[in-house]
């Protein structure tokens, strides 16, 4: 396989982790957003990553030239909204409760840290692939 495949695979991994961080940042930014004029409350987003074409092992066995990384989609989660009792709030419903998005701040922080570590892991993998290629260039040298 071409050594550039390792770079492309790590690049796709890094892009997925960056996307994950962006969705987490969006969730944390909209944590305290009440429903807008259209009545729709913000729903927390999450990134779902799936394998491409069902199974890496099959691609390795066939020795395909273009090995693909991961495929990611951003979906809205079905977390229940938080209801806070605040009768004086302009957006309170008749019972006095205000609906906030069901964003769990602790979970988002943990996901953010894990996305950061996964990004670093992809960078390390790419550096390892580059070191391997550089070592291959030293074959037959220093005679």
**Interaction site with another protein (CB under 8 A):** 2-4, 7-12, 14-16, 18-19, 22-23, 26, 29-30, 33, 36, 40, 42, 45, 52, 66, 68-75, 123, 126, 130, 133-134, 137, 140-141, 143
Shortest Cβ 49–another protein spacing (Å): 9
Can you tell me the distance from the alpha carbon of 126 to that of 6, in angstroms, rounded to the nearest whole number? Answer: 7
8-state DSSP, 86: -
Alpha helix locations (H) across the chain? 4-29, 56-62, 105-136
**Nearest distance from C-beta of residue 72 to another protein, angstroms:** 5
- Residue 21 Cβ vs another protein, minimum distance, rounded to whole Å: 12
CB distance 69 to 13 below 8 Å: yes
> 18 vs 89, which CB is nearer to another protein?
18
Q: Which is nearer to another protein, 58 or 96 (CB)?
A: 58
Nearer to another protein, 95 or 138 (CB): 138
- Packed helices 4-29 and 105-136: angle between N→C axes, nearest 10 degrees: 160
| Nearest to another protein of 95, 137 (CB atom) | 137
Shortest Cβ 41–another protein spacing (Å): 9
Tokens of 31: 């944590």
Residue 5 beta carbon to another protein: minimum distance, rounded to whole angstroms:
8
DSSP 40: P
Q: Which is nearer to another protein, 90 or 140 (CB)?
A: 140
For 105-138, letters b (16+ CB in 10 Å) and e give eeebeebbeebeebbeebeebbeebeeeeeeeee
């Amino acid at each position: 396989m071409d050594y550039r495949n390792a770079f492309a695979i790590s690049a796709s991994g890094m892009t997925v982790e960056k996307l994950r961080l962006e969705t987490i940042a969006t969730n944390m930014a909209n944590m305290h957003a009440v429903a807008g004029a259209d009545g729709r409350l913000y729903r927390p987003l999450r990134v779902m990553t799936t394998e491409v074409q069902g199974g890496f092992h099959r691609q390795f066995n066939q020795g395909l030239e273009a090995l693909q990384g991961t495929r990611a989609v951003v979906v809205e989660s079905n977390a229940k909204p938080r209801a806070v009792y605040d009768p004086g709030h302009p957006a309170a419903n008749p019972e006095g409760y205000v609906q906030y998005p069901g964003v769990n701040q602790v979970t988002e922080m943990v996901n953010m840290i894990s996305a950061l570590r996964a990004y670093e892991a992809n960078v390390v993998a790419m550096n390892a692939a580059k070191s391997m290629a550089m070592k291959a260039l030293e074959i037959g040298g220093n005679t």
